[in-house]
Amino acid sequence: MRLISINEYDETSMQLAKPVYDAKLRVLLAAGNTIHTKYLERLKEVKISHLIVEDKISEGITLEELLDMPTWLEVIKTVELSYDMVKIQKPIPLKSLLQCVGRLIVEMKIRPILLPVPITVIVGELKTYAHAVNVTLMALQIGKYMGYNDLQLRDLAVGCLLHDIGKAVTDDTSKHPEEGFNILRSVREISLLSAHVAFQHHETIDGLGYPRSLEGQAVHDYAQICALANLYDNLISDEEFSPHEAIEVIMGQYGRTYAEQLVQAFVKSIPPYPPGTKIQLNDGQEAIVTRIGSHMQRPDIRNTSNQIELSLAENSTLIIVGTL
């Protein structure tokens, strides 16, 4: 299976590998189905721009690195409920939220790499909440690389899941970090560090961020990790950057906008070529990434012309020169 743009979908050669859901998380189209042209147009209308499909070229690719859809959707609904409660000045569903955080941490620990489901496969009205979940998953990958303990991972994850919670009470972009901080610090069971993720996720170490123009070590590491994951997800979702292009942007922040060790941790935690990516090699051959093996930047691939599979980590002369 692989992720494709909805415009690439070919009814004659592809079928859905993952279901398509509506805003209430009901199955619109089940896995295994083909999609008629009129349904494709309907999916575009609800802002679904990508699909996860099975086809001949992606045969055998499992995307086992992706978080399973039921868990992803459950956490999305919990984040949505948190926003809804804040809007009507009711308590955040903290028990459910912490259970979701615990589940994400367990999933992250038992897998060599855990990737988020792209938010472009979900209907538009859920994307704010799906974005928060995906930022959290990437932040946890970075936290694992940094050697964080369970308490640190929990505080990081809670802060990331709710980093934009201020948007539930204000449409003013410049005010949502402080509004979010005030909401979270009022909840006794939420760490002040988690609240500062909401407060500082738009701060940068060069002092050019907001709302307080903090500099250097005044910007907490958790907030910077959230900011890096937030930037990456926005680039691949809103700006339609490929993962490797988005990582190039992240690398450009090295030591200037975000701390060097955190940018390094991000680059070493997030693969530039996820499974299912079609690539071109320096010898002119075309291939598809099959899995992330022992090296984040050097995945396992399958040549699309002769079906030979190999690991780029073990073939140093082969270089990825572009995506297809």
For the chain, give the number of residues: 324
**pTM metric for this prediction:** 0.95
Query: What pLDDT does 112 receive?
Result: 87
β-sheet bridge partners, residue 302: 288, 309
Token code pair at residue 178: 């402080």
Number of Cα atoms under 13 Å in the Cβ half of residue 23: 10
Query: What pLDDT does 205 receive?
Result: 97
Query: What pLDDT does 293 receive?
Result: 84
What does the buried/exposed string (b/e) look like for 248-282 if buried means 16 or more CB atoms within 10 Å of the residue's CB? eebeebbeebbbeebbbbbbebbbbbbbbbbbebe
> 129: closest CA among 172, 97, 88?
97
For residues 158 and 193, what is the distance between their CA atoms, to the nearest angstrom? Answer: 9
Per-residue pLDDT of the chain (324 residues; tens, 9 = 90+): 999 999 999 999 999 999 999 989 899 899 999 999 889 999 999 999 999 999 999 999 999 899 999 999 999 999 999 999 999 999 999 999 999 999 999 999 999 888 889 999 999 999 999 999 999 999 999 999 999 999 999 999 999 999 999 999 999 999 999 999 999 999 999 999 999 999 999 999 999 999 999 999 999 999 999 999 999 999 999 998 999 999 999 999 999 999 999 999 999 999 999 999 999 999 999 999 999 988 899 999 999 999 999 999 999 999 999 998
